[in-house]
Amino acid sequence: MTSPNFPSDDSVGGTSRRALLRALTATPIAVSTAVASPWGEVLADLHDHYGDSPAALVRTKAGRSLSRFRYHNAESFYWGLGHGLYDNDGGEMLYRSGIVAQLALSSHLLDVGFADEWNARHIRLDVAKSLAHANATGLGHDCPDMARLAAVLSPYWKWGHVHRIDTPSPNNGGFTVDEVRPLLRGLLDRVHDVTGHRRPNGWHREQRETRS
């Protein structure tokens, strides 16, 4: 599935994804209403909505490397969820799910040129905000259930054990672990497809073990 805001590699009517990312590697683009890019207008709307300072999208080797590291970390954290380690603790399951989702979305944002410092300052642990920015820059993961889960997870620190001792549990949206797992798997697969990062070592073996 290709996002309407994100030209595919095969695009002939406009800038291809590959050409656009090459341009972002060469020249910083401060996202504002004046930027003539497929993402400028929708990102400017997001910045206005959240009251954030504009982001300068610049792709670097360091950013690409960190993006790959975050994707592999997301797959690593998903391993426990995929193997049912938190099936009996709904709060911990959602806390770990928030980590998985945020790492995966951070991988995409870093890959298209967001600075990690900008993400840390403006997005922090807000999974829904991260998903909105990722979809605005071509992730193309327009899954209503994932968007609903992202809202439940945001900010994901609220599901941590220390924050559940003396306060009522936040609204979990009715999500069960059997519903959350495929949503996270779909997000991870989408980030893998869009960024082109290789799977972590042993990934295929772990997938076979999870299904058995």
Could you tell me the residue range of the domain that residue 78 belongs to?
60-211
Name the pTM for this structure: 0.81
Q: Is 195 exposed, middle or buried (0-12, 13-18, 19+ CB in 10 A)?
A: buried
Of 154, 143, 138, which is closest to residue 8 (Cα–Cα)?
A: 138
Q: In this predicted structure, which of 9-23, 26-40, 63-77 has the lowest mean pLDDT?
A: 9-23
In degrees, rounded to 5, the angle at the alpha carbon of residue 36 between the alpha carbons of residues 34 and 40 is 75
In a domain, 32, yes or no: no
- DSSP secondary-structure letter at 163? G
For residue 72, pLDDT beyond 90: yes
Task: Look at residue 22 in the predicted model and tell me its pLDDT.
Answer: 63
Mean pLDDT, the chain, integer: 84
For residue 62, pLDDT beyond 80: yes
In a domain, 120, yes or no: yes
Task: Look at residue 37 in the predicted model and tell me its pLDDT.
Answer: 57
Q: Which CA distances in Å does 195 have to 64, 176, 210?
A: 9, 29, 24
Mean pLDDT of 52-75: 94
For residue 200, pLDDT beyond 80: yes
In a domain, 116, yes or no: yes
Q: In this structure, which long-range contacts are made by residues 83-91, counting pairs with CB atoms below 8 Å and at least 24 apart in sequence? A: 83/209, 83/210, 84/177, 86/177, 87/177, 90/169, 90/172, 90/177, 91/159, 91/160, 91/161, 91/164, 91/169
In a domain, 15, yes or no: no
> Given pLDDT bands bounded at 50, 70 and 90, which one contains residue 188?
very high
Outline where the chain has alpha helix (H). Answer: 17-26, 40-50, 61-82, 90-112, 116-122, 127-136, 144-153, 177-195, 203-211
Task: Look at residue 10 in the predicted model and tell me its pLDDT.
Answer: 36
Q: Dump pLDDT digits (tens) for 148-158.
A: 999 999 999 99
Whole-number percent of the chain with pLDDT over 90: 66
Task: Look at residue 161 in the predicted model and tell me its pLDDT.
Answer: 75
Amino acid letter at 18?
A: R
Task: Look at residue 209 in the predicted model and tell me its pLDDT.
Answer: 59
- What total number of domains does the chain contain? 1
77, two tokens: 């954290």
In a domain, 84, yes or no: yes
Q: Dump pLDDT digits (tens) for 126-168.
A: 999 999 999 999 999 999 999 999 999 999 999 987 666 766 7
In a domain, 103, yes or no: yes
Using CA atoms, how far apart are residues 103 and 128, in angstroms rounded to an integer?
A: 13
In a domain, 6, yes or no: no
Task: Look at residue 207 in the predicted model and tell me its pLDDT.
Answer: 66
> Given pLDDT bands bounded at 50, 70 and 90, which one contains residue 110?
very high
In a domain, 76, yes or no: yes
For residue 88, pLDDT beyond 50: yes
